[in-house]
């Protein structure tokens, strides 16, 4: 009896999971609003809507994006400067080595 109940429960849960059908998402780029429509195989339809960001939320998002961009730009500048400094040090060390060899000869 217990095995039959467990088997029936497994079939019910697998059927419910299988009933989840296609999901369609539509986003309005101007406001940021998002609507998701889920159509299940058993005929039911589920609609979820999210409104876009508020003005304060949009300002916070823009600030975050600006900081991220500035960080990338600064990181690239630091990397380039380090490469230039490294190559200059290498060139200077090579010149010193050449002068040392000339004096010894």
Per-domain residue ranges of the chain: 21-52, 54-105
Please give the average per-residue pLDDT across 55-78, as a whole number: 91
On the question of pLDDT at 98 being above 80, the answer is: no
Q: How confident is the model at residue 61 (pLDDT cuts 50, 70, 90)?
A: confident
The pLDDT, as a whole number, for residue 5 is: 61
Model-level pTM? 0.38
**Residue 82 and residue 35: Cα distance in Å, rounded?**
48
Q: Which of 16-20, 33-37, 47-51 has the lowest mean pLDDT?
A: 16-20
Q: Which tokens hold the place of 52? A: 């876009």
DSSP per residue, 33-74 = -EEEEEE-TTS-EEEEEE----HHHHHHHHHHHHHHHHHHHH
Question: What does residue 48 show for φ and ψ, rounded to 5 degrees?
Answer: -120, 130
Please give the average per-residue pLDDT across 9-13, as a whole number: 59
**Residue 11 and residue 38: Cα distance in Å, rounded?**
22
């Amino acid at each position: 009896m217990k095995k039959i109940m467990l088997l029936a429960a497994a079939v019910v849960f697998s059927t419910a999971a299988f009933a989840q059908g296609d999901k369609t998402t539509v986003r309005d780029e101007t406001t940021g609003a998002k609507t998701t429509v889920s159509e299940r195989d058993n005929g039911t339809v589920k609609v979820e809507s999210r409104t876009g960001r508020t003005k304060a939320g949009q300002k916070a998002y823009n600030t975050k994006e600006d900081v991220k961009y500035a960080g990338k730009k600064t990181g690239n500048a630091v990397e380039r400067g380090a490469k230039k400094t490294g190559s200059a040090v290498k060139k200077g060390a090579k010149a010193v080595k050449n002068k040392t060899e000339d004096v010894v000869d």
